[in-house]
Amino acid sequence: MRRHTIRLWGKSALIGFVAGLLAALLIYFGMDRISAAGIEILREVFGWPLALAETLSAASQAPESPPPTKWNFTLLTWGSVAAHVTPLLMIGRPSTIERIWPEPPRILDYRLFDSAHDPDNPRYAGRSYCGRAEDVASLMRFAGPSDGEQPRWKALSGVHGVGKTRLALHWLQRLQHFGDWDAGILREDMSLRDIRRCRFRRKTAILIDEDRQEEF
pTM: 0.55
Which residues 6+ apart lie within 8 Å of 68 measured at CB?
none
* Three-class DSSP category at 121: coil
Whole-number pLDDT of residue 200: 82
pLDDT in tens, the chain (216 residues): 455 555 655 666 666 666 666 666 665 665 555 566 665 665 665 555 556 556 655 655 555 555 545 555 555 555 556 555 555 554 555 455 556 556 778 889 999 988 888 888 888 887 777 778 888 889 999 888 877 677 888 888 888 878 888 999 999 999 999 878 999 999 988 888 888 878 787 789 999 876 655 555
Residue 68's pLDDT is what? 47
For residue 116, what pLDDT is reported? 85
Q: How confident is the model at residue 186, as a pLDDT?
A: 92
CA dihedral 98, 99, 104, 107 (to 10 degrees): 70
What separation in angstroms does the CA of 75 have from each of 17, 20, 66, 69?
Answer: 12, 9, 15, 10
168, HSE (Cβ side, Cα atoms, 13 Å): 22
Q: Measure Cα distances from 70 to 42, 48, 84, 122, 136 in Å.
A: 21, 20, 21, 65, 63
pLDDT at position 94 = 47
* Angle, CA of 99, 201 and 96, to the nearest 5°: 10
Pairwise CA distance, residues 200 & 135, whole Å? 27
Helices (H), the chain: 2-29, 36-46, 48-60, 67-87, 94-100, 133-142, 164-178, 192-197
The answer to whether 1 touches 59, Cβ cutoff 8 Å, is no
CA distance 56 to 24: 10
pLDDT of residue 81: 60
